[in-house]
Structure 1
């Protein structure tokens, strides 16, 4: 499912199955998780499409950071012990939904 690359400043999860890259930054007790699905950060759309229910079902607590002025820069912060579970849940959610339907030009990532 994942090709994991350890970089100097972050970890990169790559899935060629669904054209998904996830950057994970270690912040001591928690991890910041950024998403790149086909060049778009669709975290905001995922919430509209019911991702929150999956988070509850998997018992993952995380915070969404960012604002509506910079949708392409939104990210999740999650407890380190739930990092891999959140990364996997994102994959399963996007794989099981019409993720292409979540893409909008306002989510186009400017800097990855």
Structure 2
């Protein structure tokens, strides 16, 4: 009887440690996706972020805080990817009214 109780306890502990190991691995992969995004490797960040989110949902569920964080990170990466694909709409460094006309003759120095 004592042996079966110990076995159940060890089996339960192994499951807990396995889950903690998976969560740590998922967290590290999520952080790596963020690092890819910060380094400008947006496509790598998107690919890894989508896989990480799917794993979080499968292992921890759709409403777990870590899953929600991964979903938020992936949304941010998608926003960055969309901004990269947009045409440059930034204002020029010098306002157009202050820029010299392009057809003005060059002045001697």
Query: What TM-score does the superposition give when structure 2 sets the normalisation length?
Result: 0.22
**When you count helix as a share of all residues, which structure comes out higher?**
2
Tell which structure's C-alpha radius of gyration is larger: 2
Q: How does the TM-score come out when normalised to structure 1?
A: 0.22
Which of the pair is proportionally richer in strand?
Answer: 1
